[in-house]
Amino acid sequence: MIGQLARFIVSGAFVTALGVGVYALVALGLRWHPQLGNFLAYVVAMATGYIMHSRWSFRDHGGERTGGTKLKFVIVSLASLALNSFWVWLLYTKLQWGRGAPIVPMLFVTPAVTFTLNRQWVFR
């Protein structure tokens, strides 16, 4: 499990950097609407994350990758999007702790939840 966690951290950092790059290209470079940049970054990160997690992070965990595996991965990915949206709503909107406040749970809580769900449900 330690090896899986380490691979998950490395691949997660790569996927995050890729998502930020897509966002920057679309929202800053092309000057399209930032929400479109956010959506496209999410789609690219989700697809890349599935490939990396299924072939590398959890390569020794579970069996055959099926359509059900992909569906479960999408569900976990959407749950992570919802969880991060919740942090923004709670800490920034509701409690008014500032724009940076949601970053801490986004960096620590959401990845812990997605690691657990991916390991126990998606790639088992």
Query: Is residue 88 within 8 Å of residue 102, measured between CB atoms?
Result: yes
pLDDT tens digit sequence for 2-55: 877 788 788 888 987 887 787 778 878 897 876 676 678 788 888 898 888 777
The yes-or-no verdict on residue 95 having pLDDT over 90 is: yes
φ, ψ at 6 (rounded to 5°): -65, -45
- What's the total number of domains in the chain? 1
Confidence of residue 75 (pLDDT cuts 50, 70, 90): very high
The whole-model pTM stands at: 0.65
Question: Which of 124, 114, 30, 109 minimizes the C-alpha distance to 74?
Answer: 114
Count CA atoms within 13 Å of residue 82 on its CB side: 8
Average pLDDT over residues 58-83: 78
Express as a percent the part of the chain with pLDDT over 90. Answer: 9
Question: Which of 124, 1, 11, 4 minimizes the C-alpha distance to 69?
Answer: 124
The yes-or-no verdict on residue 64 having pLDDT over 70 is: no
Residue 42: domain span: 2-122
Look at 117 and 89; give whichever has higher pLDDT: 117
Query: Is residue 117 within 8 Å of residue 76, measured between CB atoms?
Result: yes
Residues of 50-80 as b/e, b for ≥16 C-beta within 10 angstroms? bebbbeebbeebeeeeeeebeebbeebbeeb
